[in-house]
Amino acid sequence: MDESREQRIARLTEEFRKLLEEKFPEKGSTMQRIEELTEEIGKAIEEKIEDDATSKRVAVMWAGMRYANVVLPPGMCETMRNGL
């Protein structure tokens, strides 16, 4: 069953909460450490959103192509998996 937009947001929000619990800076952390963790957290969130959004789009494209019996050139499956 496909997730609705709201379900996907709820799932990602829970994943972000766990990430923050794991990575959130401890009291007394240096400014450099806080900046490093902020960058790590931001990058992880960006990747999760991009992966989730593109995996849905690629899955729909792939299903449509299979339905239309489209034959892909060598290497195209990997390209599609990587978000075109």
The model's confidence at residue 54, banded by pLDDT at 50, 70 and 90, is confident
pLDDT for res 61:
56
pLDDT at 29 over 90: yes
pLDDT at 53 over 60: yes
| C-alpha span between 76 and 68 (Å, rounded) | 16
pLDDT at 50 over 60: yes
Least trusted range by pLDDT, from 25-29, 55-59, 71-75: 71-75
Average pLDDT rounded to a whole number, residues 9-25: 92
DSSP helix/strand/coil, 70:
coil
| C-alpha span between 14 and 62 (Å, rounded) | 28
Average pLDDT value for the chain: 78
